[in-house]
Structure 1
Amino acid sequence: MTSITRSLGAVFGITMAVGVAFAAPAQAQPPLLNGTFSGAEGDPENIWQIASTCGPAGCAGTVASNQGWTSPMTLTNGVWYFSVTKPDGFICADGSFQPAVISMELDPATLRGVLSADSNGACPGGITSATPFQLKQV
Structure 2
Amino acid sequence: MTRKTPSNFAASIHQRLLKIARKTHRPFNEVLQYFAMERFLYRLSVSQHAHMFVLKGALLFRIWDIPDTRATKDIDFLAFVDNTPERLAQIVRDLCSIEFPEDGLAFDANSVSATRIKEDADYEGVRVRFRANLGKA
Normalising by structure 1, what TM-score?
Answer: 0.24
Higher relative contact order (CA 8 A, sep 6+): 2
Q: Which structure has the highest helix share of the two?
A: 2
Q: Which structure has the highest strand share of the two?
A: 1
Normalising by structure 2, what TM-score?
Answer: 0.24
